[in-house]
Amino acid sequence: MMKQLIHYYNKYCIGQFVEMNRCVDEYFYPKTKNGWLYLCVKGAHQYCIKNGAINSFITNLIGININQLQSQKYCDFEDLYAHIARCQVKGIGDLTLYDTALRIGHVMHPCIYPKQYVYLARGAKKGAEILLGRKVGWREPIDVFRPYFGDMPSRCIEDFLCIMKDLLCKGGVINGVSIKGRSIYVNGILRSTFCCDVANNSFICPNAYDQNITAIDCISDDCDNGDTHFDL
């Protein structure tokens, strides 16, 4: 069933990419000053973070010349993440650090994505612990997940673990899961329906608090609550 669930994810769960591409659009065709950076920092996962923390984080990012994006030289995603983490302020947790690094890396040319590790926070961390049957750190080597996901990219593994966590068990998928079109059932009971209207740029999640939110996994326990492995 894991293969079917991965296929379902690849076909329907595209909220992450929508958010990333909006950052690119705003960077190259800006509507407001530093608007692209605001979109990189604040997505669906960040709706519960206080504006003061968001603004302070953005100010710090501007202070390290993140606006001079194409002139920046990073060895890999870990280098980019570490650079962004230096700007962290209280209220900005591991999830926002990762999301920001991922979105900024997507804007860069060539793009910089995580490859060596899968970054785990909030819902993704919960999903990883269920699947692996153990506690996990803030990131884990991607090879740990290869038996389940094959050559799936790190960023997609993280996203999948967050979205599908309630359907996972140690070593795979819980019993009773079935898929019909966009709908997922557990023991015949409808669990989720992911709808997307590409023409209207609309992506509606059954857990969404607002239909304008594009992320699939925007329930409260998957949003950044400020938890971080760094000492602030």
- Give me the residue spans of the domains in the chain: 17-107
Q: How far apart are CA 33 and CA 35, in angstroms?
A: 5
Of 21, 47, 22, the residue nearest 207 (C-alpha): 47
For the full predicted model, state whether its pTM sits above 0.75: yes
Give 52: exposed, middle or buried? Use CB within 10 Å, 0-12, 13-18, 19+: exposed
- Note down pLDDT in tens along the chain; length 232 residues: 999 999 999 998 888 988 999 999 999 999 999 999 999 999 888 888 899 999 999 999 999 888 877 667 889 999 999 999 999 999 999 999 999 999 999 999 899 999 999 999 999 999 999 999 999 999 999 999 999 999 999 999 999 999 999 999 999 999 999 999 888 999 999 887 654 443 444 443 433 333 344 444 445 567 888 889 887 6
